[in-house]
Amino acid sequence: MLPTHNTMKRFSLLRCALPLMVLAMSVPALPSCGGAPDSARTAQRHLVRGDYQAASAAADRSIAKHPKDPTSWRVRIRAAMAQGELAVAAQHYLDWKTLRGAHDRKTYRLMAVSTLWQGMQVPAPEIKSRTIALIARYNIEKLASEVRDALGDDSDLVAASAAVALMRSHPAAPHLATELLASSSPRVRAMVITGIAKKIGRKALGDLVPALTDTDPIVRRAVVSAIASWKSKKDSARLMAMAKDDADGQVRSRALRGLLAKGGDGVVPLAQTSLDDAYPGAQLAALALLEKFSEADAIARAKELLGSSHIGLAMRSAIILYKHDGRSQNDVVAQAFASPDWASRSAAMNTAAEVMNKADAMALAKRGLADVHEDVRIAAARLLIRLGETSAGNRALSAALDSNQLGPRLAAATELARQGDDAAIALLGRLARSGSAEQRQAALGAHKAAQVLSDGLVAALGDDNIDVRLAAADALLAR
């Protein structure tokens, strides 16, 4: 019989020096080092033996003789990380990058993987859970043993993360995951449901159906999303029942969205009824259902909803009508742009290209550039870019790089960085090294979203905050 979560041995924590296994990953056997000088091989032998001070000293001597030897630099960086000198290791990398003239993908990825190992040694369940998710996302096989050990963690959150990660590769994982469906934590129950649905699929339906009546809406949302994700059309009745009867708006909305791919008898009447749902997300999902399964009904209801106080519903209605007859929906856009609510004005910008002719949309974008709220101005810049006026849009985004508000500044930098703008990438790098931990993480997330690399991104692997280091590792491994 498989051991249960409560009886599994709790594995002891190791000190946060890097293990020999992690240090040695991606390092070829010594005879195959090719052109590495003897001094670099000596440094590498110290590293493999775990004598990090000797490895560091030997690497320094080797670099003095062979300043551009990659093996020597990599040993210097690994030795610093092994001794917990993370900021020093990051600076060594930047020195190496400057000398080399370009980033070294092999080295920064090794540093990122080592950062994940560090995350597994932190006692906090939140950090371990996040780290396990990253290890699984990037399939870091070298850290598989750390994830296996986490199956026996005392924290349900950590054990669930490990069980989900190993669902298809460890015999105890499915059993543990099923057991954790009864966890006292709604978050854990939802996590396990999502993992089982993704890894096992509809075969696990019998285990998940009881959770449709879970007392916590977080869990019911997870089950409905799981059922919606399967290709089978056999579950339409379950989704329709949840869309009609569940007390939680998000559950109803997700159930309606799930029916888009499944259909079924009664979908159109359900959509008609759900347009009167108190939850705006459910109304939007209902309108999408009508648009797919009954175009005539969708057009009729869209005409009624153009004047809705819910801006999202009004805008979606405008899109449906513009697709139908090609008439610009200037009135609904003008109403949204006249709102004192900046989010409504931004929505006007975000929708204009889909409901207006180009000339009218251009005129609106120019008005948006003069808005008092920076988020509206950024939305206007994006509209210009969508309309083909890239230079004008980018000028407006560049102006936002000097904003004193982090949100607009990051939004503009991300948009420009995607286009390879050096100033924007440099700004993201600076933001990754300054301000609060939350700001640094946001800047690192922007790196990932824009798929760009900066000195500040790699330097963040030496940050004193583990959350920041994990965010940096995530962005680097995503490249």
Query: Mean of the per-residue pLDDT values for the chain?
Result: 92
Share of the chain above pLDDT 90, in %: 91
Q: What are phi and psi of 463, to 5 degrees?
A: -65, 155
pLDDT (tens digit, 9 = 90+) per residue, 221-274? 999 999 999 988 899 999 999 999 999 999 999 999 999 999 999 999 999 999
Phi, psi of 369 (to 5 degrees): -65, -20
Instruction: Give, as one character, the DSSP assignment of residue 387.
Output: T
The per-residue pLDDT for 34 is 53
| Rg, the chain, Cα only | 27
Spatial separation of the C-alpha atoms in residues 389 and 361, rounded to whole Å? 12
C-alpha span between 417 and 427 (Å, rounded): 9
Question: What is the amino acid identity at position 237?
Answer: A
pLDDT at 276: 95
pLDDT of residue 35: 77
DSSP SS3 for 276: coil
Distance CA 175, CA 173 (A): 5
Written as six digits, the tokens of 64 are: 């003095």
pLDDT per residue, tens digit, the chain (479 aa), is 233 444 333 333 223 444 544 444 444 433 334 578 999 999 999 999 999 999 999 999 999 999 999 999 999 999 999 999 999 999 999 999 999 999 999 999 999 999 999 999 999 999 999 999 999 999 999 999 999 999 999 999 999 999 999 999 999 999 999 999 999 999 999 999 999 999 999 999 999 999 999 999 999 999 999 999 998 889 999 999 999 999 999 999 999 999 999 999 999 999 999 999 999 999 999 999 999 999 999 999 999 999 999 999 999 999 999 999 999 999 999 999 999 999 999 999 999 999 999 999 999 999 999 999 999 999 999 999 999 999 999 999 999 999 999 999 999 999 999 999 999 999 999 999 999 999 999 999 999 999 999 999 999 999 999 999 999 999 999 99
Contact call for residues 85 and 17 (beta carbons, < 8 A) = no
Torsion (CA) 441, 434, 109, 123 in degrees, nearest 10: -60
Residue 238 phi/psi, 5-degree rounding, is -65, -45
Distance CA 67, CA 69 (A): 6
pLDDT confidence of residue 33:
42
What confidence score (pLDDT) does residue 27 get?
45
